[in-house]
Structure formats: structure tokens, C-alpha cells
Structure 1
């Protein structure tokens, strides 16, 4: 991880500002490595940095926690979001496969035919999905 990322995480409050040597070098505690792994793993799971900050904050402030802010709830919501994106990408992939199979070579020409496999007709008729 590069130095700019560490400093950014400090500014965002994800990492506590570490102690420094007399020469000004940062001395991160061992727990910082665990926290960095948590941050990076959560990002790979699709959580934004703001969401990661909230999750980290939840872990450090457990008392008085509301059920709707739990990791379980947030993970379930993120899973729904990711599955929706996957479904959208599968629809896009299917449209592209159909276009490839149909031999579409010119999008403008294809869009003017009734047999165009790309869902341009739906967009033309006002359907934005």
C-alpha cells in the first residue's frame, strides 16, 4: 500500500494518526495492519470507502447499536446490490452475444431494422431499462 493511501485513510479517520519517531517517521501499531486488511477486503466485497468507515466505526462503538446498522444487515443489503448488478451485466452480455451471433456490423444500420438484437427499440419507445 502506498504512502498516499495511508495518509488519506488517516485524514478520513479510518486509521488513527500513528506515533512518530523523533525524525517524524510514522510508527504504525500492529493493529493497523489488521485494519488495513479489513478496509481492503471490504472494498473488494463492494463496499464504498464511506461504507467501510461506517463498518469500522460500528466495530469500535458497539454499545447502543441499532439492529439496522449491523454488519449482517449491511452485508445483506450489499449482496442484493451486487446480485442486481450481476443480473444487469448478464443481460448486457446476452445482448452482446446476440449482436455478435447476428453479425451486426453497423449499429446505426442495425438500429433501423426490426430484427436488431440490441435493445435499442425499447429505448426508442421510452423504456429506459
Structure 2
């Protein structure tokens, strides 16, 4: 009798995990998901534990974790290594906060440029285009800080 745990074909597995088949194969290639053996003359079968694992990966991705970071979290998934998991989450939180700060600076510069465009009259060049041509920097500078040069 077949193991009740492993009853899903890859297509049914993909539907249950709400991903496509290529995602499953990619996760297997990256080592995030084991590839079951193919019984002689038969197709590979997957189970609910595999579905749960893919859902874990997708949840971690939604929180911004990279696939390498997710592999580390999967290593800790037994729940007995909370300190290590917390350390990884703290690093991710620091990264997210830095990105938010960058986005806030970008929003401030763009907001100023949009206001300048709306206030623009006469035959002077567009403030947004002019600032970009003159080198307004929105990119990351040394130390992760954004340079903010407004018009």
C-alpha cells in the first residue's frame, strides 16, 4: 500500500501549494525542497509536508528573506533554535528599515520634483528632466545614505 503521506503528483502539489510547477523544480534545484525518488516506472509523489514546506518558503519570501536566508530558516524549522531565528529576523528587520529610510528619501525628492513640475510655467525646461540632466542623485552613496539634491 502507498504511503498516504505521498499522494500528490507535481501538478496537484503545485496547485495545493499555490505555486507553479517551475517554482517547485526551482526550489528543488536550490535545495529548499527535497526531490522524492521516482519509483521504477512511476511518477514522483509529494505529500502535505511538502506543501507546508513550500508555504513556509513563500511566507518567508513575502517577509523579504532571500532564498539563502530561507534555507537557513528551514534548517531551524524545528523551533528549537529561537535565538538563531531571532538573530536572522533582526538582521532582516535592520535591512527592511534601511530600505524604508531610502524609500522615504526618494519619496521626498520625487515629491519636490513633482511639485516643481506642477508649479512650472513659462518656456523653461521641465524641472524633473532638468534635475535629472543636472545630476540629481537618487542612488545609494557611500555608507548606504541617499544623496538628496533637490531643484
TM-score if structure 1 supplies the norm length? 0.73
Which runs of structure 2 are paired with 1:1-129 in the superposition (5 Å)? 1-20=19-38, 22-59=40-77, 67=83, 70-103=84-117, 105-107=126-128, 109-110=130-131, 118=136, 129=147
- Specify the SS of the correspondent of 2:76: helix
**CA distance in structure 2 between the aligned counterparts of 1:6 and 1:110, rounded to whole angstroms:** 46
Unpaired runs of 5+ residues, structure 2, are 1-18, 121-125
Unpaired runs of 5+ residues, structure 1, are none
Higher helix share: 1
TM-superposed deviation, 1:17: 1.4
The answer on whether the counterparts of 2:28 and 2:34 sit within 8 Å (CA) in structure 1 is yes
TM-superposed deviation, 1:13: 1.6
Comparing both chains, which one has the higher relative contact order based on Cα–Cα distances under 8 Å and sequence gaps of 6 or more?
2
What does the per-residue CA deviation read over 1:19-71, in whole Å, with 9 as the maximum and x for residues that have no partner? 43554422112101111010001011000011101110122596xx6x5xx11
**CA distance in structure 1 between the aligned counterparts of 2:55 and 2:132, rounded to whole angstroms:** 48
TM-superposed deviation, 1:9: 1.3
Note closer, same or farther for the CA distance 1:4–1:99 as it changes in structure 2 (3 Å cut): same
The answer on whether the counterparts of 1:18 and 1:28 sit within 8 Å (CA) in structure 2 is yes
User: Displaced runs of 4+ in structure 1, greater than 3 A?
Assistant: 19-24, 106-113
Note closer, same or farther for the CA distance 1:28–1:74 as it changes in structure 2 (3 Å cut): same
